[in-house]
Amino acid sequence: MNFKDIILQYLEDDKQAMKDLLTLFLNAVLQQEAKIQVGVMPYERSDSRKAHRNGYRQRSLRTRYGEVELRKPQIREFPFETRVFERYSRVEKALSNAIAESYIQGVSTRRMEKVLSELGVEGISPSSVSNMAKELDEDVNKFLKRPIEKEIRYLFVDATYFKVRQNMNYISKALFIAVGVDEDGHRRVLGVKIASHEEEGFWLDFFEEMKQRGLRGVKLVISDGHEGIKSAVTKSFIGSSWQMCHVHFIRLMLRKVAKKKRKWLSMKLKEALQSEKAFEEFMKEMESKGENVLVRTAEKYVYDLFNYKAFPTSHHRRIRTTNVLERVNKEIKRRTKEVGAFTNDASLLRLAVSILMDIDEEWITTRKYLNMEVEEDEEDENAIIA
């Protein structure tokens, strides 16, 4: 199938067309990798030849568009090496490992057998699971300890929750993820940490770990109103501000009223959060209506809802919420659904970080999240005015 055929097919079935386009692209990548290793293209005569091709081997690969069939080149003199399967197999391997650990410990055995079979995992034993975990842990630790090379302007922190086994019981644990926007405007996954509780000490440790790897230049930290985070931000990033996520603030306020009032309150809050003046009017209205609980809750965050306005206007929509992490959390939940509950923290970390490694790779190869040149232009203008 050529590119023209794929375009025509896209008009009829875009999912199948994307699957065919991905197949075409990945096979081209495999060919290019083979050329680099052999030194020449197929049937080409050249003094630069390093080895000889030995046909192809069919290899299936699970992707977001379904399973694709690829032609993996074989080399006669040495094994062919490719990065094509690396990013896809990492998550699949981590998922298999998490499920296999539960299987060995007797959790939902019949269901686990079915899922493992679908993943093509056979011959599960404690030793094979241990070996798989060891291999994954090396990649995970390398990712979590890698240096943070560029300055980070905006730091987003959010949590998603999972059931994890602890002392024969399953408890809810938070997986905290830190994402930053660097000086070039790209998003990067910076840190991941599991916690069963939130307090200032936790946040200080989390931030310090990232600072030791090179985290610097933070001007604004955006998060939910986690216990102790505001104080930790003040101590860890001197001169920076903390921004209460607008989405989390609205959710918090809605929980303070009866269900029948939530639609009305939601509309009021969206209007109020447009400006400090509008928010002040909202507070007066709530006070006049006797909504004292709402007023007290709003007063707690009144000075942390509009810190984003000190930054370029074109950035506002993306730095007043943690929506960038909401999408990440949904993707992790979707891809960990088959596991259900994790046998330990390490199992959760392996799978979550494997997924985050894929997301991070996508972010650095796609368009910038924010235009940071606007920030430089505004700084220049202020310098001229001063």
Query: What SS3 state is found at 341?
Result: strand
- pLDDT tens string, the chain, 386 residues long: the values are 555 565 555 555 566 777 777 788 888 888 888 888 888 777 777 777 888 888 888 887 766 567 788 888 888 887 777 777 665 556 555 555 555 455 434 444 444 455 445 444 455 555 555 666 677 788 889 999 999 999 999 999 998 999 988 887 889 999 999 999 999 999 999 999 998 777 888 999 999 999 999 999 999 999 999 888 989 999 999 999 999 999 999 999 999 999 999 999 999 999 999 999 999 999 999 999 999 999 999 999 999 999 999 999 999 999 999 999 998 998 888 877 777 788 888 888 888 888 898 889 889 877 899 999 876 555 555 444 44
DSSP per-residue letters across 236-286: HSTT-EEEE-HHHHHHHHHTTS-GGGHHHHHHHHHHHTT-HHHHHHHHHHH
Position 78 scores a pLDDT of 79
CA distance 285 to 272: 11
Position 103 scores a pLDDT of 40
* DSSP bridge partners of 163: 172, 341
Instruction: Determine whether 289 is exposed, middle or buried from the number of CB atoms within 10 Å of its CB (0-12, 13-18, 19+).
Output: exposed
Q: What are phi and psi of 120, to 5 degrees?
A: 80, 25
Joined together, the tokens standing for residue 7 give 């375009």
Q: What are phi and psi of 2, to 5 degrees?
A: -100, 180
pTM of the model: 0.71
Position 195 scores a pLDDT of 87
Domain ranges of the chain: 3-84, 151-348+370-374
CA-CA-CA-CA torsion sign (180, 183, 184, 185)? positive
Position 119 scores a pLDDT of 45
Q: What are phi and psi of 215, to 5 degrees?
A: -65, 125
